[in-house]
Structure 1
Amino acid sequence: MRLLIAMGLATCTLSGCMQDLGSQGDVLARSAAKGVVNNVVASKFPGVDATPVTDCIIDNASGSEILTIAEAAVVGTSQATTDLVVDIAQRPETTRCAASSLLGVTL
């Protein structure tokens, strides 16, 4: 029963109800997206501490990109989702953020 309620809430949130939830919807979507991004980072960049890289990717993703990634938490990660995460990871601001987080240097 709890799973059914959670899936209903996630579906509602990811299908456009997030605008009605305001900042709570944003937090929920970002949290769902972080789980997906963390798994992609761990598989695509083995040996890298995924948590700070995940934070940088989420911080540099647009709202619509976060929603697209968060959908994968419900329906499963596709190649398109993985490609989107890798694309965001390769952006200059994301790489600067990751370098700063992982190496302690400011670029």
Structure 2
Amino acid sequence: MAVHKPVALLSGLALIALSACSPQAQDDIAREAARRAVTPVVQDKFPGVPVEPAVNCVIDNANSTQIGALALDAVTGPTESTVEIVTQIISKPETVTCLATDGLAAILN
């Protein structure tokens, strides 16, 4: 798939800006960007699930490679790859436990 020049330019500028940040700041920025890609997937593929707790569970249980891929998807918009990554993360036992704990609490409150 060809990357459009504006998207490539924005991605390049984002990488330059991130390189000036501390590792913790880079991680925080990547996680926030990943949230923007995960949210519409959760809303679309998992209707009825409390969105914010579910997104938190996905982000908290994603590995650094998954966070990076999801953060890039926030620039271009969710793709089938985004859905695949989110589904992989949601299938992890740790994520299921998080969803059962945090998601259920959100429903009951």
What TM-score comes out, normalization by structure 1 length? 0.79
Deviations 1:26-83 (A, max 9, x none): 1100000011111110000111111101101111100111000010011222101111
Runs of 4+ in 1 over 3 A off after TM superposition: 17-20
> Which runs of structure 2 are paired with 1:1-107 in the superposition (5 Å)?
7=10, 9-10=13-14, 12=15, 18=18, 21=21, 22-104=23-105
Contact 1:41 1:50 (8 Å CA) reproduced? yes
How many corresponding residue pairs?
97
Structure 2 residues without counterparts, runs of 5 or longer: 1-9
Structure 1 residues without counterparts, runs of 5 or longer: 1-6
Identity of aligned pairs, percent?
38
Contact 1:18 1:26 (8 Å CA) reproduced? no
- Tell me the amino acid that sits aligned with residue 103 of structure 2: L
**Matches of 1:29 and 1:19, distance apart in 2:** 12
- Tell me the amino acid that sits aligned with residue 47 of structure 1: G
Higher relative contact order (CA 8 A, sep 6+): 2
- Tell me the amino acid that sits aligned with residue 39 of structure 2: N
> Cα RMSD between the aligned structures?
2.4
